[in-house]
Amino acid sequence: MSNDLFDLSNDVAVVIGGTGTLGGAMADALAAAGAKVAVLGRSEERGAARVRQIEEAGGTAMFHTADALDAASLTAARDAVNEKLGPVSVLVSAAGGNRPEATLPPGSDFCKLPKEAWNDVFDLNLVGGSLLPSQVFGETMLAEGCGSVINIASMAGMIPLSRVVAYSAAKAAVLNLTQFLAREWATKGVRVNAISPGFFPAEQNKALLFNEDGSYTERGGQIIGHTPMARFGKPEELAGAVVWLASRKASSFVTGQNIVVDGGFVSTTI
């Protein structure tokens, strides 16, 4: 087996949402494998910090502001990356998240869920988390005849988690769109896959999982109880999946797949 199976030194990777915890870890992993990495997001401060971290580790990176829900913003970022680093061959769509107003408290009435809250979460995770990035950066990949699109979905898209109904439905749609694009682009040199992380503590969900004293909340304890590995994931544990799917040598015959990284959580529910 060739020892350069996971060498990405000929690739330019864009990580949308690379300013976040999970997106940032995947940006680090791609850079460590040799890819030139463009971190895209709305926070210039966090983006610049991620670029410094990559460069200090010996990698090549740049930051460009981008709004995943704005096609013009994504197009401007794509053109800037193309000019500075070259044509994009790897896209990681890691933008997404939930909104408190779209979360159903225990015992609440689903029929009262505000349509506006649903729309916000659905658009953020499907339109910004897959649709627009795939259209904008996929255009370049199709022109080059080579590329790997990696959508960050969620195991919530496979099983309807309680309370986060809009988020779960949106991530299910991301998985469906991933399969659609994989079929459409299979003969055009562009592979499309998804990674579905399980529970990874980050700024957005920390209060949901932990009490102020560091102990598990009731929900955090329930999650651990349903996770065979009996712990939460660490962001760096997504590195192997993202580098494998990015590598045109290691995963050349892999498209339309959903790689679940969840410590076995889904295996206890399906």
Q: What does the chain come to in residues?
A: 270
How far apart, in whole angstroms, are the C-alpha atoms of residue 88 and residue 61?
13
What are the φ/ψ torsions at residue 223 (nearest 5 degrees)?
A: -65, -45
Residue pair 154/95 in contact (Cβ under 8 Å)? The answer is no
Question: Is 216 an annotated catalytic residue?
Answer: no
Residue pair 135/149 in contact (Cβ under 8 Å)? The answer is no
Instruction: Check 118, 122, 167, 244 and give the catalytic one.
Output: 167
Q: How far apart are the first and last CA of the chain?
A: 36
Nearest to 62 by CA among 52, 70, 73, 72: 52
Q: What burial class does residue 145 get, using C-beta atoms within 10 Å of its C-beta: 0-12 exposed, 13-18 middle, 19+ buried?
A: exposed
Q: What burial class does residue 224 get, using C-beta atoms within 10 Å of its C-beta: 0-12 exposed, 13-18 middle, 19+ buried?
A: middle
How far apart, in whole angstroms, are the C-alpha atoms of residue 207 and residue 217?
8
- Say which residues have a Cβ less than 8 Å from residue 4's Cβ, sequence separation at least 6: 249
How far apart, in whole angstroms, are the C-alpha atoms of residue 150 and residue 94?
9
Residue pair 80/137 in contact (Cβ under 8 Å)? The answer is no
Residue pair 233/266 in contact (Cβ under 8 Å)? The answer is no
Q: Would you name the residues annotated as active-site residues?
A: 167
